[in-house]
Amino acid sequence: MSIAWVFPGQGSQVVGMGRDLITVSPAARRIFATADEILDYPLSELCFSGPEADLTATENAQPALLTTSMALLAAMQELLGDRLEQPIVVAGHSLGEFSALVAGGALDFTTALRLVRRRGELMAAAHEGSMAAIIGLGADMLEQICQEVSAALQNEHAHGTVVIANYNAPDQLVISGSVVAVEHASMLAKSRGAKRVIPLKVSAAFHSPLMIEAAEGMAQALTNATVYDLTIPLIANVTAEPLYHADDVRREIVAQVVAPVRWIASIQRMVALGVETFVEIGPGKVLTGLIRRIVPGARLINVGTFADIQSLMAMQLV
């Protein structure tokens, strides 16, 4: 059965993540120790003990999630050894794409950590715009609403733009843009049949054109970063197509800051490539829930704790 490894993004963080690994896996301990050294602050303690408000802050949550996902992967590799079946593709949701790039061989962990720390800083510094989750409205209708609102506001407001930022599942989309545009689009979505509209607690309009300065900052951060060709193809957030080469990875890292996360199309592309089993590596089960709604019947495995790794060790297919 062909396998894909997928890695969660911001929002999956939880106090206590990774704590159960450090007593059983030297490889996981090394990942956390490396993160503490590179970042020059006790990220591991923040993951293990919080406080939650500090862990949730964008500049902390992003390196914390990367580190925990990589610690889980390192523990899997250490404890399962040759029994661990390799994926045919990797992917990650937004921030999770950096974990996938490490797993796929394009970045080493220390390079990814430095890039993610910078990404978190740039995104935390952005204070323009807002986001909202739209539940139960189709993508075609929501795209039309975004176009209508953006066109109507262009002459009245600077950056009067709203776009779909996350195509998470057929019944779960996220819009992003200027505050007034997101408010207008949210009202229209409700009037045209959305079951729920949920304003998100974010500081800015992530994955929208309003993040252009953050994208420029990531381009600058990449100038001194070593990027390799992928040994396992990455299904890219921006295009939902496989990436193989270092130059493509560099473009993806910059573009994904302002472009939508095409998660539905990414999962569908993986299925078209023959993937039958999706292994979510990281805290929580957000991606598992989304994939279940995109591909009913897909085989889904979560690896978020040491207990999950123990369960894998008992499985015939890992």
Q: Where are the domains of the chain?
A: 2-125+210-314, 130-204
Confidence of residue 113 (pLDDT cuts 50, 70, 90): very high
Q: What is the mean pLDDT of residues 211-230?
A: 96
**Rg from Cα positions in the chain:** 19
What integer pLDDT is reported at residue 291 of this predicted model? 98
What integer pLDDT is reported at residue 318 of this predicted model? 43
166 forms beta bridges with: 174, 261
Closest residue by Cα to residue 249 from 66, 65, 98, 69: 98
Place of tokens 């159960």: 20
What residues contact 114, with CB distance under 8 A and at least 6 apart?
A: 38, 221, 225
Q: Which residue has the higher pLDDT, 203 or 137?
A: 137
Helix (H) or strand (E) holding 151: helix 139-153
Give the global pTM: 0.94
pLDDT in tens, 9-40: 998 999 999 999 999 999 999 999 999 999 99
Distance CA 254, CA 191 (A): 35
What integer pLDDT is reported at residue 157 of this predicted model? 53
pLDDT in tens, 267-308: 999 999 999 999 999 999 999 999 999 999 999 999 999 999
What integer pLDDT is reported at residue 156 of this predicted model? 62
Closest residue by Cα to residue 113 from 175, 36, 166, 195: 36
What integer pLDDT is reported at residue 316 of this predicted model? 52
Domains 2-125+210-314 and 130-204 share a fold: no
Distance CA 313, CA 317 (A): 9
What residues contact 144, with CB distance under 8 A and at least 6 apart?
A: none
Structure token pair of residue 212: 């252009």
Structure token pair of residue 158: 């600077």
Closest residue by Cα to residue 79 from 308, 300, 316: 308
Percent pLDDT > 70 in the chain is 97
The CATH code of the domain at 130-204 is 3.30.70.250
Confidence of residue 217 (pLDDT cuts 50, 70, 90): very high
The CATH code of the domain at 2-125+210-314 is 3.40.366.10
How many DSSP H helices and E strands does the chain contain? 13, 10
Structure token pair of residue 136: 């139960």
Q: What DSSP string describes 151-183?
A: HHHTTTSTT--EEEEEEEETTEEEEEE-HHHHH
Query: Looking at the annotation, which residues are catalytic?
Result: 94, 207
Backbone CA torsion sign across 228, 240, 62, 51:
negative
pLDDT in tens, 140-185: 999 999 999 999 887 665 558 999 999 999 999 999 999 999 999 9
Distance CA 218, CA 212 (A): 10
pLDDT in tens, 32-77: 999 999 999 999 999 999 999 999 999 999 999 999 999 999 999 9
